A = this chain, B = another copy of it.
Amino acid sequence: MTTTRKVTSLDVAKRAGVSRSAVSRVFTPGASVSERTASKVREAANALGYRPNVLARAMLTGKSKIIGLVVAYLDNHFYPTVLELLSEALEREGYHVLVFMAAHSADDVEDVVSQILDYQVDGLILASVSLSSDLADRCRASGVPVVLFNRKLEAEGELAVVSDNRMGGRLAAEHLISLGRTRIGHIAGWEGASTQRDREAGFMEGLRAAGLGLFAREVGDYRLPRAKEAARRMFDTPDRPDAVFVANDYMAFGVMDVLRSELGLRVPDDVALIGFDDVPSAAWPAYSLTTIRQHAEAMVTTAVEALLSEIGGTEVTSPAPLPVTLIRRGSA
């Protein structure tokens, strides 16, 4: 209950017998302070439990040391993973992550943007696939560096960190073909997403290269219920595919559930199944999902690097798509 009163740089200064400026300089890397006063100040600061107020500093310098992260649904385990990695990477650089849920406010971009800008974030990471590109533009227009994560914009030079989704799609196709499957279907994610377009493009490319076409196609919108409906439409018929590429793992789980539990089909015997992302649970034996791995750590590292140097003032260009790898498991 001893509500310690806020201790300011002035308190420290008094105790150390110096000026506020001195105290400030001690806590500002690269400032000019003698070792003697520095130690006096540090001692006083420790005794008083002083730490510079980030907010006050932020006002003055314009740097808040906080990065906004806009994200939609966290159900897809890929994103919690990313969030965790991202937060750790940024903490290592002295930043922290402020979360903005885009789920319901998706329509009124206006509002989200405002909220974000209000907080004077130093940078922004957009990991929400479904968010209008306006958001990026508006923020960038206000001078806030933005990096798109796991999505890109056709438009202009938006900074974007993505995997090589096209190659991933191609790998998926090649793998299914190498298994001897010929009646190959695709359950797509949200068609507005660049990830979806690229994955499917690569996939089609792979099929064509083997002289095959798409046997069936449904849309799952990256949502679990939709994906399951899509699976029912695609497989609850005698004339069904013998393999399917699902645009991400999250949907793939739902598809596999429908296949095995509702339709009594065997995976991979009756139908081979391949996903995308390699979320942790893909490796769980109950699913043992063959998938295209996105290297989350690499993506995060790249994104942080890009964002930070952009914040640092150096104009940076979108890095090359990051490599993906086929992970062979039981489902294909």
Contacts and interface: CB of A to CB of B under 8 A. Distances in A.
Interface of A: 2-4, 6, 51-56, 58-59, 64, 66, 73-75, 77, 79-81, 83-84, 87-88, 91, 96-101, 103-105, 114-115, 117-120, 141-143, 253-254, 256-257, 260-262, 280-281, 284-287
The list of the 5 closest CB pairs from A to B, nearest first, reads A261-B285, A80-B80, A74-B80, A286-B286, A74-B84
Contacts of A88: 101, 103-104
16 contacts: A3-B141, A3-B143, A4-B142, A51-B118, A53-B118, A55-B55, A66-B98, A75-B81, A77-B77, A80-B80, A83-B99, A84-B101, A84-B103, A88-B101, A256-B286, A262-B285
Contacts of A2: 141
A280 B281 CA distance: 13
Given A91-B100, A96-B119, A281-B281, 14 more contacts: A2-B141, A4-B142, A4-B143, A53-B120, A55-B55, A55-B119, A66-B98, A74-B84, A79-B80, A84-B103, A87-B100, A87-B101, A96-B98, A96-B115
A162 to B, nearest CB: 22
Number of this chain's copies in the assembly equals 2
Contacts of A254: 284
B97 A51 contact: no
